[in-house]
Amino acid sequence: MRDRRVLHTGAVATIEHATELGTILGVWAHPDDEAYLSGALMASAVDAAQRVVCVTATRGEAGFDDLDQPLEERRAIRERELAACLAELGVTEHHWLDEADGGMADADPSRAIDSLCGLLEEVRPDTVLTFGPDGMTGHGDHVAISRWTTIAVDRVAPATRLLYATKTTDWHELFFRLVDPGHVMMIDGYQPPSTPAAELSVSFTAAGALLERKLRALMCQESQVRPLAEQAGDAGFRALTRDEWFRSAAPGDWPDLLA
C-alpha cells in the first residue's frame, strides 16, 4: 500500500512526499512527543533530503512511576531512548533546552525563548511543528512550549509556517475506547480539543514500511511507550499512531501574541 500524505492548503491535495513542508523545525516538551506526533513526517522529510531539526525542552525525568530512581539515571534512560528513536527516523540534528520536566509552566521562559530564536535564525525553517495552546493533554509543559515557540516565531521568523499538533474527533473516540484517559490526560475530566478535517493544514497517514519505521522509533522509547502500546493492543496502537495532523496557528490561539 502506498503511504498517503495530504497537505491542506485551501483545497485538499494528495502528494507523494512531504516536500511541501520544506525544512522542518520540531519543538517539543518531552522525549517521545516528537515521535508520536510527527515521526512519520520527519522520516519522510529526511528521506526526501529535507533538513529536519528536533528540539526537546526537558529530559523527561518525571516520566517514571518510580521517582525514587536517581534523577541522573532517569535522565540518562530518556536520553538514550530518544537518541535511538531519532536514529531510526534518520534525524541527525537535535537540541535540548534543559528545562525541568514538569516545571515549565512556572519557569522563566527568557533563556529558552532566546535559544529558540537563535535556532530559528540558524535553521531558517519553512515549517515549525509544536503543540497547540491546549497542550493536547492539558500538560503544563506542552502548553508552555507552545507559547514559547509561538513567541520565538513571532519575534524573529513571523513569515514561517507555524503548525500546531492536533487530533480529530474520530481519533479521540477510538483513543478513549482503547485507553484509560487517566493514564494520559493531566487534568481529570479534561476533554482534549479536536480539529475538523476542513480546518487541518496537514493530514498525514503512514502505511507500509513508513508506519513500521515509526512504530520501531516509538518502541525505542520503551519506558514511556510500552504501557500504552500494551493497553491499546497491536492493532489499536497502529490505528492510534498512523495519522499525524496539524493545524495552522491563528490569532485566536494566543490573543496576546498573534494579533
Domain residues of the chain, as ranges?
4-248
pLDDT of 87 above 60? yes
For residue range 157-192, list pLDDT tens digits in order: 999 999 999 999 999 999 989 987 766 655 666 777
Distance between CA 87 and CA 247 in Å, rounded?
27
Distance between CA 197 and CA 168 in Å, rounded?
7
Query: Binning pLDDT at 50, 70 and 90, where does residue 17 land?
Result: low
Name the helix (H) or strand (E) containing 163: strand 161-166
Which is nearest to 139 in space by CA: 22, 36, 40?
A: 36
In the 3-class helix/strand/coil scheme, how is 92-134 assigned residue by residue?
A: CEEEEEEECCCCHHHCCCHHHHHHHHHHHHHHCCCEEEEECCC
Distance between CA 167 and CA 240 in Å, rounded?
10
At the fourth CATH level, the homologous superfamily of domain 4-248 is LmbE-like (3.40.50.10320)
Hey, how many other C-beta atoms are within 10 angstroms of the C-beta on 67? 11
Name the packing angle between helices 222-241 and 71-89 (round to 10°).
40
Give percent above pLDDT 70 in the chain. Answer: 90
Which pTM does this prediction carry? 0.92
Among 56-60, 93-97, 187-191, name the one with the lowest average pLDDT: 187-191
DSSP state of 20: G
pLDDT of 9 above 60? no
Distance between CA 166 and CA 240 in Å, rounded?
13
- What mean pLDDT is predicted for residues 244-255? 92
